[in-house]
C-alpha cells in the first residue's frame, strides 16, 4: 500500500467517523422518539412530571424565551456591530473596550451566565424565575456571536461601495441602509442562526433563570420550562421519562431545522427584493 | 486603436452628448478649481508636497506620472473623499468656484454632488441598473417617478448605454460587462448633474475595446463637464487631454513637476524628468 493510498484511507475513515457519529445520533433519536411523536404530543400539556402527556406548554415557553432573546439581542448586536465596523476609528477607546469584552464574554461557560442571570435579572431586578429573566440571560450569552458575525459581515463588504457611495454625495447612514446592511444580510442571518442554535440548546443558563415550571406560561413574568431543560429533567430526574425525552429531543432538532430553513428563505427573498426594486 | 474603434463601435447617434471632438487645445482657460500649495500626509507620511495647479472649466486635464506619486490622493482631495481615510491630513488651499472646499462648514455631500468621481474598478452597486442611478438621486431629493425615469433614460443615452440595456433596466447591474459597468458608473455620476468629474484610471481595468468606448465617452464630456483624469496610458492622455500635469516622487513625496497644455507637455516639455517620462525613458 502506497503512502497516498494510506492517506486516502485515513481521510475516508475520518470522514466516515464524523458522519457516522451524526447518523448514529440522529438514528438513535429517530428510533426512540418517532413512535411517540404525534399532534397531540405537540399540543398537550405534560402530565405525571412529563412521563406522559405532551410538550405543548414547553414549546410555547421555548418560543417565548427565544423571542425575548432575539428581540433584545438582535437590535443591540446590530447597533454595536455597525458602530464597531462603520463609525469607530481603529484605535478608538470604544473599540478597545468592546472587542476584548466580547471575546471574554464569548468564552464564559453558560453556567456562569446562569448564575449571573439569576443574581441580576431574577433577584436584583426582581424579575424572579421567569421567561423574561431566561430570555435576557440568553440574550447576554448570544450577544458576542451575533455582534461578531454582523461585524464580520459588514467588514466583508468591499470598501469600494463606501467610497462610491460617498463620491455620489450619499451620507454614511444612507450607504449603510441601502448598501452595507443588505450586502451584510447573509452573514447576519448566519450569525442569528448560530445564536438561535446556541440559545435553543441551552440548559444550564436557563435552570437558574427561567426555571422548571412546566405549566403553560400566562405572561413573560411566569416561569417556563424550555425544551432542553425538559429533556434534561426527564432524562436525569424523572424515572421512566426517557421515552418522552427522546421525543422532545426529536422535536428540538426538527424545530432547529425549521427555523434554519425559514430564516434562510426569508433572507434570500429579502435580498432578491432589494435587488429587483 | 482609437480610429478603429470609432469606426466599429458606438455610432455617433447612440450618444446624446454630441460628436467626438478632436484633442487639444479647446478653450480659453478659465479656472474652475484652484489648488494652491496642497500637501497631503497619511499619518505623518507625506504623499503630496506643495502642489499648485488650476483645473480649467470645460477642459480635460490629465494627470500622469508613475504609481505612488500621489495622483489619486490629489484627485480624492478635490472632492474631500480624503475625509474617508483615517489619518489623512491636508494643508493648502483648494478653491472650487471661488469657494474654499476645506471650510469646516462646507456641505460635503453637495460638494461631492458637484464634483463626482469615477474609480479604476467599476463599482456598480449590487442592485438593478435602474436603482443604481436612482438611489443617489433619491438621496439628493429627486423622488418624482417621471423625473427619475427621464433622468435615467437621459444619462444612459449620454453614455451610449441606453440601446444596450433598454428593456432590462431591472436586471442586476453586476451582470453587465466591465466596460458597460464603467459607463453605468459614469451615467450614475452624470445623473447628479455634476460640474466636475474626477476619473481615477477609468479605463485601466477594461479590455482595449471597452477602454476605447469609455475613452470616446470621456471626449464627449468635454465642454459640458470639466474632467480631471488620472491615467497611466500616455497615448490616451495625449489623445484626449487639453491640459496635462506630470507628477513625480521627490524625497518620498509626490510633487507636481510640470503643468501645461497637453501638446506642450508631450511635444516640448521644459523639465528633463517630464521629457524622460513622456518619451518612455523613465517611469
The phi, psi pair for B64, rounded to 5°, reads -120, 165
Give B10's pLDDT tier (boundaries 50, 70, 90).
very low
Per the structure, the complete domain to which residue B152 belongs is given by 2-278
pTM: 0.79
8 Å CB contact of B170 and A174? no
Residue B255 lies in a domain: yes
* Cα–Cα distances in angstroms (integers) from residue A175 to residues A82, A166, A171, A179, B116, in the given order: 12, 8, 6, 5, 16
Yes or no, beta carbons of B139 and A161 under 8 Å apart: no
Give the dihedral of Cα atoms A38, A44, A46, A52; nearest 10 deg.
Answer: -40
Looking at beta carbons, which residues of chain A come within 8 Å of B141?
Answer: none
Give the cell for residue B281: 525613458
Residues of A with CB under 8 A from a CB of B: 89-90, 160-171, 174, 178-179, 182-183, 274-277
Confidence of residue A277 (pLDDT cuts 50, 70, 90): very low
Under 8 Å CB pairs connecting chains A and B tally to 69
**Which domains can be identified in chain A, with CATH numbers?**
37-276 (1.10.3720.10)
For residue A275, pLDDT beyond 70: no
**When comparing pLDDT for B254 and B19, which is higher?**
B254
Q: What is the mean pLDDT of residues A119-140?
A: 93
* Cβ of residue B119 closer than 8 Å to a chain A Cβ: yes
Residue A19 has pLDDT above 90, yes or no: yes
Per-residue pLDDT band at B16 (split at 50, 70, 90): low
Contact B116/B194 with Cβ under 8 angstroms? Answer: yes
Q: Which of A196-200, B75-79, B184-188 has the lowest mean pLDDT?
A: A196-200
Q: Which of B79, B121, B125 is nearest residue A179 as measured by Cβ atoms?
A: B125
pLDDT at residue B3 tops 50: no
Say yes or no for a CB contact (<8 Å) between B123 and A160. yes
Long-range contacts of B134-141 (CB under 8 A, 24+ apart): B135/A170, B135/A178, B136/A165, B136/A168, B136/A169, B136/A170, B136/B188, B136/B191, B136/B192, B137/B191, B137/B192, B139/A168, B139/A169, B139/A170, B139/A171, B139/A174, B140/A169, B140/B109, B140/B113, B140/B192
CB contact under 8 A, B86 and A89: yes
Instruction: Count structural domains, chain B.
Output: 1
Contacts of A8 by beta carbon, 8 Å cutoff, 6+ apart: none
Which range (A21-25, A260-264, A267-271, B208-212) has the least confidence?
Answer: A267-271
Asked, for residue B66, whether it belongs to a domain, the answer is yes
CA distance A82 to chain B (A): 16
pLDDT tens profile B141-171: 888 999 999 999 999 998 888 999 988 999 9
Q: State the complex-level ipTM.
A: 0.84
Q: How far is A106 from chain B (nearest CA, A)?
A: 30
Q: Each residue of B52-67: pLDDT tens digit? A: 999 998 899 999 998 8
- Judged against a pLDDT cut of 90, whether residue A24 lies above it is answered with yes
Given a contact cutoff of 8 angstroms between Cβ atoms, the answer to whether B229 and B240 are in contact is: yes
Residue A276 with chain B: CB contacts under 8 Å: 128, 170
- Sort out which chain A residues have CB atoms less than 8 A from B140's CB and list them: 169
Interface test with B, best of A85, A153, A157, A169 (most B CBs within 10 A): A169
Contact (CB<8Å) B125/A164: yes
Yes or no, beta carbons of A169 and B109 under 8 Å apart: yes
Interface of B with A in 1-60 (CB under 8 A): none
Say yes or no to pLDDT of A93 above 90: no
Q: Does B86 touch chain A (CB under 8 A)?
A: yes
Please tell me whether the peptide bond between B171 and the residue prior to it is cis, using omega within 30 degrees of 0: no
pLDDT tens profile A169-202? 999 899 999 999 988 888 888 888 888 888 888 8
Give A182's contacts in chain B (Cβ within 8 Å). Answer: 126
Look at residue B206 and tell me if it is in a domain. yes
Say whether A169 and B126 touch across the interface (CB within 8 A): no
In SS3 terms, chain B reads as: CHHHHHHHCCCHHHCCCCCCCCCCCCCCCCEEEEEEEEEEEECCEEEEEEEEEEEECCCEEEEECCCCCCHHHHHHHHCCHHHHCCCEEEEEEEEECCEECCCCCCCHHHHHHHEEEECCCCCCCCCEHHHHHHHHHHHCCCCCHHHHHHHHHHHHHHCCCHHHHCCCCCCEHHHCCHHHHHHHHHHHHHCCCCCEEEEECCCCCCCHHHHHHHHHHHHHHECCEEEEEECCCHHHHHHHCCEEEEEEEECCEEEEEEEEEHHHHHHCCCCHHHHHHHCCCCC
Using the structure block, give the residue that is written with the C-alpha cell 418517532: A34
Burial of A40 (0-12, 13-18, 19+ CB in 10 A): exposed
pLDDT digits over B231-248, tens only?
998 888 988 899 999 999
The shortest CB-CB distance from B119 to any of A160, A178, A274 is to A160
* Residue of chain B minimizing CA distance to A174: B139
Share of chain A above pLDDT 70, in %: 97
Confidence label for B8 from pLDDT (cuts 50, 70 and 90): very low
B95-107 pLDDT tens trace: 998 889 888 888 9
CATH of the domain at B109: 3.40.50.300
> Is residue B249's pLDDT more than 70?
yes
A79 vs B7, which has greater pLDDT?
A: A79
Chain A residues with beta carbon closer than 8 angstroms to that of B116 = 167-168
Please report the pLDDT score of residue B281 as a whole number: 75
Partners of A169 on chain B (C-beta within 8 Å) are 108-113, 136, 139-140, 192
Residue B283 counted as domain residue? no
* CB-based contact A162 B128, cutoff 8 Å: no
How far, rounded to the nearest angstrom, does the alpha carbon of residue A183 sit from its chain's CA centroid?
22
Section B72-93 average pLDDT: 89
Residues whose CB falls within 8 Å of the CB of residue B241, separated by 6 or more in sequence, listed in order: B23, B24, B60, B61, B62, B229, B262
Tell me what percent of the residues of chain B surpass a pLDDT of 70: 89
A231-273 per-position pLDDT tens digit: 999 888 888 888 889 999 999 999 888 888 888 787 777 666 5
Mutation site, A88, A95, A162, A167, interface B, largest B CB count within 10 A: A167
Q: How far apart are CA B137 and CA B141, in angstroms?
A: 6
Q: Which residues of B touch A178 (CB under 8 A)?
A: 125, 135
Q: What pLDDT, on the 0 to 100 scale, is given for residue B20?
A: 56
- How far apart (Å, rounded) are the C-alpha atoms in residues A219 and A259? 23
Confidence (pLDDT) at B4: 41
* Amino acid A242: pLDDT: 86
CB-based contact B112 A167, cutoff 8 Å:
yes
How far A273 CA sits from the closest chain B CA (Å)? 9
CA A26 to chain centre: 20
- B151 vs A: CB within 8 A: no
Q: Which residues of B touch A162 (CB under 8 A)?
A: 84
Is the CB of B127 less than 8 angstroms away from the CB of A89? no
Nearest to A178 among B110, B119, B135 (CB): B135
Q: Nearest CA of chain B to the CA of A149: how many Å?
A: 21
> Confidence class of residue B283 from pLDDT cuts 50, 70 and 90?
low
CB atoms within 10 A of CB A14: 10
* Mean pLDDT (chain B, rounded): 86
pLDDT at A51 over 50: yes
Amino acid at each position: 500500500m502506497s503512502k497516498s493510498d494510506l492517506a486516502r484511507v485515513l481521510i475516508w475513515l475520518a470522514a466516515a467517523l464524523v458522519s457516522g457519529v451524526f447518523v448514529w445520533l440522529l438514528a438513535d433519536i429517530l428510533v426512540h422518539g418517532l413512535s411517540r411523536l404525534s399532534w397531540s404530543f405537540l399540543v398537550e400539556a405534560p402530565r405525571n412530571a412529563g412521563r406522559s402527556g405532551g410538550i405543548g406548554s414547553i414549546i410555547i415557553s421555548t418560543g417565548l424565551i427565544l423571542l425575548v432573546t432575539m428581540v433584545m439581542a438582535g437590535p443591540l448586536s446590530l447597533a454595536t456591530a455597525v458602530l464597531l465596523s462603520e463609525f469607530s476609528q481603529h484605535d478608538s477607546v470604544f473599540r478597545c473596550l468592546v472587542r476584548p469584552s466580547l471575546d471574554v464574554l464569548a468564552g464564559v461557560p453558560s453556567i456562569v451566565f446562569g448564575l449571573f442571570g439569576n443574581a441580576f435579572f431574577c433577584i436584583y431586578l426582581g424579575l424572579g424565575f421567569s421567561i423574561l429573566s431566561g430570555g435576557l440571560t440568553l440574550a447576554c450569552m448570544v450577544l458576542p456571536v451575533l455582534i461578531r458575525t454582523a461585524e464580520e459581515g459588514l467588514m466583508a463588504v468591499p470598501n469600494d461601495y463606501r467610497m462610491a457611495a460617498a463620491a455620489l454625495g450619499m451620507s454614511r447612514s444612507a450607504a449603510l441602509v441601502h448598501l452595507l446592511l443588505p450586502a451584510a444580510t447573509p452573514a447576519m442571518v448566519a450569525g442569528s442562526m448560530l445564536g438561535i442554535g446556541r440559545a435553543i440548546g441551552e440548559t444550564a443558563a436557563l435552570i437558574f433563570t427561567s426555571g422548571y415550571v412546566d405549566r403553560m406560561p400566562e405572561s413573560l413574568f411566569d416561569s417556563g420550562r424550555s425544551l432542553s431543560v425538559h429533556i434534561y429533567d426527564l432524562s436525569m430526574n424523572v424515572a421512566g421519562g426517557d421515552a418522552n425525552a427522546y421525543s422532545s429531543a426529536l422535536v428540538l432538532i426538527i424545530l432547529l431545522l425549521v427555523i434554519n430553513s425559514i430564516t434562510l428563505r426569508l433572507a434570500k427573498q429579502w435580498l432578491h427584493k432589494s435587488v429587483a426594486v | 486603436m482609437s480610429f478603429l474603434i470609432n469606426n466599429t463601435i458606438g455610432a455617433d447617434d447612440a450618444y446624446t452628448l454630441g460628436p467626438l471632438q478632436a484633442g487639444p487645445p479647446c478653450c480659453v482657460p478659465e479656472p474652475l478649481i484652484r489648488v494652491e500649495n496642497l500637501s497631503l500626509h497619511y499619518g505623518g507620511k507625506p504623499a503630496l508636497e506643495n502642489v499648485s495647479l488650476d483645473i480649467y472649466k470645460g477642459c480635460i486635464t490629465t494627470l500622469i506620472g508613475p504609481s505612488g506619486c500621489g495622483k489619486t490622493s490629489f484627485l480624492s482631495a478635490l472632492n474631500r473623499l480624503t475625509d474617508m481615510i483615517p489619518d489623512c491630513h491636508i494643508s493648502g488651499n483648494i478653491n472650487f468656484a471661488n469657494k474654499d472646499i476645506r471650510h469646516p462648514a462646507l456641505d460635503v455631500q453637495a460638494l461631492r454632488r458637484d464634483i463626482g468621481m469615477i474609480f479604476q474598478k467599476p463599482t456598480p452597486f449590487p442592485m438593478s441598473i435602474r436603482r443604481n442611478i436612482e438611489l443617489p438621486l433619491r438621496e439628493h431629493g429627486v423622488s418624482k417617478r417621471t423625473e427619475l425615469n427621464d433622468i435615467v433614460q437621459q444619462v444612459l443615452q449620454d453614455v451610449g448605454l441606453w440601446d444596450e440595456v433598454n428593456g432590462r433596466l431591472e436586471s442586476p447591474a453586476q451582470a453587465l460587462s466591465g466596460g458597460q459597468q464603467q459607463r453605468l458608473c459614469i451615467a450614475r455620476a452624470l445623473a447628479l448633474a455634476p460640474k466636475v468629474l474626477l476619473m481615477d484610471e477609468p479605463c485601466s481595468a477594461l479590455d482595449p475595446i471597452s477602454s476605447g468606448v469609455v475613452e470616446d465617452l470621456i471626449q464627449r464630456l468635454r465642454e459640458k463637464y470639466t474632467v480631471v483624469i488620472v491615467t497611466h496610458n500616455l497615448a490616451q492622455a495625449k489623445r484626449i487631454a487639453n491640459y496635462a500635469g506630470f507628477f513625480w516622487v521627490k524625497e518620498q513625496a509626490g510633487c507636481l513637476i510640470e503643468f501645461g497644455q497637453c501638446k506642450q507637455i508631450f511635444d516640448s516639455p521644459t523639465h528633463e524628468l517630464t521629457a524622460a517620462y513622456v518619451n518612455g525613458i523613465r517611469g
